Amino acid sequence: MKKIKNFEDVVCPFCGTLCDDLKIILEDNKIIEVDNACAIGTAKFFSSNVSEHRYTKPMMRNNGKLEEVTWDEALNKAAELLANAKRPLSYGWSSTECDAQRKAVELMEICGGVLDNTASVCHGPSLLAIQDVGCPTSTLGEYKNRADLVLFWGSNPVHAHPRHMSRYSDFIRGYFRVDGHLDRTIIVVDPRTTHTAQMADMHIRLNPGEDYELFNAIRALCRGVELDVKEVAGVPIKQIKELVEILKSCKFGVLFFGLGLTMTKGKHRNVDAGISLIRELNEHTKFNLTPMRGHYNVSGANIVFTWSTGYPYSIDFSKDYPRYNPGEFSAVDILKTNDFDVTLIVASDPASNFPKDAVINMLKKPLISVEPHKTPTSEMADIVLPPAIAGIECEGTAYRMDKVPIRMRKVKNAPEDCMADYEIIEKLIEKVKELKGE
């Protein structure tokens, strides 16, 4: 007899929206139905079913080929590499839960290594800007109930956070926004006519890479300064003035920004200018901002690293105390300058998205990958340690993009004897301590 199990209010461990209303149906430890999730969230749940894409046993490279080994063999070898390393680098950590992230800090501290998370290639610049100029923000629930003006700048939630608009920012009815979509004005600032832009009430189509100029023009116009120029970033002054009026006259505005700001020319300075604009708009009305965080728990990685070291990412422990400097201790820069001897990649796939020279350097030295699925990174690794998938096969806490912590559930068992990420790291810590005689 087949055993069917139903789960309700399951949290989706995929994007920073962290939807918590999913329904999952299981047949003998196999997920057969996912309800309420968007297409990418659904795909993540199905990906946990055992298939040729999933590792179920630890692997080690032997004569150029990955071969199955026992957990002890794999963990001992990994611990040995880390304990003997003079400059180990650990990167990833955003697609796992907070306990694993906490253990990451401990491991890298005892190894005297460099610890970085994926924020360094996505919203790290937002954090730099926030450290420079602060950040007026609130929770997604607050936006849902109050915001009558929603500004998406350099972000395309229709594809990157598919349920964001229906749960929080556009179609949903809120306490003061009883007519949902009809009660909100949506403005999109994007060089491309994205699907989000097509749904907006106003689309500001600026030249690529000129966001900073547009922000500062808006800020000056908000202050009542007449500008010498007729257009900024390809947008006519008349349209910018119209936008300024809308921004100033809303009741409660929110700016959601994405990688279109943080990863284009100017990076953290684009966000710096964006935050400054929001700060100034608060002299006229109520306005907040929230970064559209990608990985479901990248926000958590920043929070956990910050409460344990003082810094959100790009942390160096070589001198026994934490130091912070993106651009110096960020994974891409460490790899590009060959300033490392071993890498430990957890819950991330830098081989598919890092610059080519960084990847080439990474592959030349020992690489340990903690990863449930076959990825370009894990397939090139020397040691693969397959974990249970957090939020599906083990519990854990994750932080939503607005920094609200949400407890994720376990709905199925992990294949074979796969352990949770934090258990794997805990074992590594024990073994490294033993090798270092601590």
Among 88, 113, 162, 258, which residue sits at the site for ligand SF4 (rule: CB under 6 A)? 162
410, 415, 421, 426: CA torsion to nearest 10 = 110
Dist CA 108 CA 82 (whole Å)? 9
Amino acid at 155: S
- Candidate residues 40, 135, 222, 303; the one interacting with ligand SF4 per rule CB under 6 A: 40
Residue 263 touches which member of another protein, ligand SF4, none, C-beta under 5-8 Å by kind: none
Nearer Cβ to ligand SF4 (41/154): 41
The residue among 146 and 163 lying less far from ligand SF4, judged by its C-beta, is 163
Q: Where does this chain touch ligand SF4 (CB under 6 A) — which range of 15-23, 49-57, 120-128, 359-367?
A: 15-23
Taking CB under 6 A as the criterion, the residue among 163, 177, 219, 268 binding ligand SF4 is: 163
Helices (H), 206-348: 211-222, 237-249, 259-262, 268-281, 298-309, 331-336
User: Smaller CB distance to another protein: residue 168 or 311?
Assistant: 311
41 binds, among ligand SF4, another protein, none (CB under 5 to 8 A by kind): ligand SF4
| Closest residue to ligand SF4, based on beta-carbon distance | 41
What is the torsional sign of CA 313, 305, 353, 188?
A: negative
Question: Which residues, 6+ apart, have CB-to-CB distance to 59 below 8 Å?
Answer: 66, 67, 68, 69, 74, 383, 384, 386
Positions touching another protein (CB under 8 A) are 85-87, 111-113, 128, 131-132, 212-213, 215-217, 219-220, 223-225, 227-229, 232, 265-266, 269, 272-273, 276, 317-319, 324-328, 337, 339-341
When asked if residue 144 is in the footprint of ligand SF4 (CB under 6 A), the reply is: no
Find where tokens 């001897």 sit.
341
Residue number with CB closer to another protein (99 or 210)? 210
Q: How far is the CB of 124 from another protein (least distance, A)?
A: 11
Using CB under 6 A, which of 24, 41, 393, 420 touches ligand SF4?
41
Pairing of strands 88-92, 4-10: unpaired
Cα(326)–Cα(356) distance, integer angstroms: 19
E-state strands within 11-157? 22-27, 30-35, 59-62, 65-68, 88-92, 114-117, 149-153
17 binds, among another protein, ligand SF4, none (CB under 5 to 8 A by kind): ligand SF4
Q: Return the one option of another protein, ligand SF4, none that residue 225 interacts with (CB less than 5 to 8 A, by type).
A: another protein
DSSP state of 414: P
276 binds, among ligand SF4, another protein, none (CB under 5 to 8 A by kind): another protein
Give yes or no for a contact between 258 and 292, defined as CB atoms under 8 angstroms apart.
Answer: yes
Place of tokens 């953290």: 268
Count of residues that interact with ligand SF4, criterion CB under 6 A: 13
Chain residues in the site for ligand SF4 (CB under 6 A): 12, 14-15, 17-19, 37-38, 40-41, 161-163
